[in-house]
């Protein structure tokens, strides 16, 4: 298999796969905003419409106009605003949100929802998108979904399947010419190392954050993922926050996402972090660029 990479004057391309509208703004938004502004073609693909999401902004919970019937359309408008702020392209895969089941015993997921579908079936529209967009880099969630929402776990499964199937000339030729994505990354945004660094910085400054300290007590270092790739996003923290606030029904503007200042983030950590899960080209780790090793005309795939 030959992995076709961009010529020196060709646009770099990446696809970021997410489960619901708002995930693209809370996970890796600084990275996508940075690459888009540097001239890369960045496409966010959202698997579901977030139809079963709740109103999480306490300021809007009593708004009589935000009924369950209108919420899907509202979330699409929010996504369009966030897309414009980030400067990325955006596509919907068109699947239905599975919701987050609660209770004992746990109720079954709604029939036909995203997480209930066979993986190959759910991967097919992503295969079509990858063959059409021809990205060099794909980002998605780890096998635990980043957190165990069934749609996040399914996003991981679908992304891995599409990564393989898009390159397979025998799979669904009607979906387009085969395309081998060179690198697949897991977004590793919420991890103990980052939170510990921020907490230490705030303690040293005499401004400890109680919420952060309590969260650290619950985090087990054994659950940390490998950090292979760290992207400097210090100049894009404001863009990230503006995109997240665009999802007004989903985000409390006074919530924990916004309680740590940009100055603290910049000084204590300042990167968005990734785990290189699969590479079809040779790499040198650690990296500071998702496109590291991809700035050549072509390379031969690994055996």
pLDDT digits 0-9 by tens, 87-133 = 999 999 999 999 988 877 888 999 999 999 999 999 999 999 999 99
> Encoding tokens for residue 299?
């390379």
Structure letter (DSSP) for residue 287: B
pLDDT at 295 over 90: no
User: Class of the 2-188+225-300 domain?
Assistant: alpha beta
The CA distance from 252 to 241, in Å, is 12
> Encoding tokens for residue 158?
């679908």
The CA distance from 68 to 55, in Å, is 9
pLDDT digits 0-9 by tens, 165-223 = 999 999 999 999 999 999 999 999 888 889 899 999 999 999 999 888 988 888 777 77
The CA distance from 275 to 231, in Å, is 11
The CA distance from 113 to 98, in Å, is 5
Q: What per-residue confidence (pLDDT) applies to 302?
A: 52
Mean pLDDT of 142-148: 88
* Sole residue written with tokens 């400890």: 208
pLDDT digits 0-9 by tens, 219-238 = 777 778 899 999 999 999 99
Are 169 and 1 in contact, with CB atoms under 8 Å apart?
no
Are 41 and 16 in contact, with CB atoms under 8 Å apart?
no
Question: 136: annotated binding-site residue?
Answer: no
Instruction: Give the pairing type, strands 137-140 and 183-187.
Output: parallel
Question: 263: annotated binding-site residue?
Answer: no
Structure letter (DSSP) for residue 194: H
pLDDT digits 0-9 by tens, 244-286 = 999 999 999 988 889 899 999 999 999 999 999 999 999 999 9
The model's confidence at residue 296, banded by pLDDT at 50, 70 and 90, is: low
Q: Pick the range with the lowest mean pLDDT from 72-81, 172-181, 292-301.
A: 292-301
pLDDT digits 0-9 by tens, 15-30 = 999 999 999 999 999 9
**Most confident stretch, 51-65, 97-111, 155-169:** 155-169
Domain boundaries, the chain: 2-188+225-300, 193-224
> Encoding tokens for residue 113?
């929802």
* Sole residue written with tokens 């040198």: 284
* Sole residue written with tokens 């990325």: 88
Q: What per-residue confidence (pLDDT) applies to 299?
A: 46
The model's confidence at residue 69, banded by pLDDT at 50, 70 and 90, is: very high
Q: What per-residue confidence (pLDDT) applies to 217?
A: 85
Q: Among candidates 55, 42, 45, 122, which has minimal Cα distance to 79?
A: 45
Q: What per-residue confidence (pLDDT) applies to 102?
A: 82
pLDDT at 149 over 50: yes
* Sole residue written with tokens 């106009």: 65
The CA distance from 130 to 157, in Å, is 15
Task: Please spell the DSSP secondary structure of 71-130, one letter per residue.
Answer: HHHHHHHHHHHHHHHHT-EEEEEEEPP-----SSSPPPPPTTSGGGS-HHHHHHHHHHHH
Question: 20: annotated binding-site residue?
Answer: yes
């Amino acid at each position: 298999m030959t992995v076709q990479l961009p010529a020196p004057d060709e646009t770099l391309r990446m696809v970021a796969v997410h489960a619901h509208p708002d995930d693209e703004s809370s996970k890796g938004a600084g990275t996508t905003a940075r690459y888009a502004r540097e001239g890369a073609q960045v496409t966010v693909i959202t698997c579901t419409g977030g139809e079963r999401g709740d109103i999480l902004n306490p300021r809007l919970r009593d708004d009589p106009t935000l009924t369950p019937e209108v919420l899907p359309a509202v979330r699409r408008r929010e996504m369009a605003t966030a897309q414009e702020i980030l400067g990325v392209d955006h596509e919907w895969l068109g699947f239905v949100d599975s919701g987050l089941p609660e209770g004992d015993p746990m109720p079954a997921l709604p029939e036909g929802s995203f997480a209930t579908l066979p993986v190959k079936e759910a991967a097919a529209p992503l295969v079509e998108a990858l063959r059409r967009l021809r990205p060099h880099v794909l980002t998605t969630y780890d096998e635990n979904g980043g957190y165990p929402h069934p749609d996040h776990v399914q996003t991981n499964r679908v992304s891995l399947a599409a990564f393989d199937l898009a390159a397979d000339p025998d799979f669904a030729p009607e979906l387009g010419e085969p395309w081998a994505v060179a690198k697949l990354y897991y977004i590793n945004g919420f991890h103990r190392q980052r939170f510990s660094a921020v907490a230490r910085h705030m303690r040293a400054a005499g401004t400890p954050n109680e919420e952060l300290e309590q969260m650290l007590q619950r985090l087990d270092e054994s659950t940390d993922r490998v950090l292979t790739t760290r992207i400097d996003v210090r100049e894009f923290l404001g863009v990230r926050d503006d995109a997240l606030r665009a999802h007004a029904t989903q985000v409390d503007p006074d919530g924990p996402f916004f309680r740590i200042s940009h100055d603290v983030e910049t000084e204590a950590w300042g990167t968005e972090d990734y785990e290189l899960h699969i590479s079809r080209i040779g790499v040198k780790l650690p990296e500071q660029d998702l496109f590291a090793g991809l700035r050549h005309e072509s390379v031969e795939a690994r055996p």
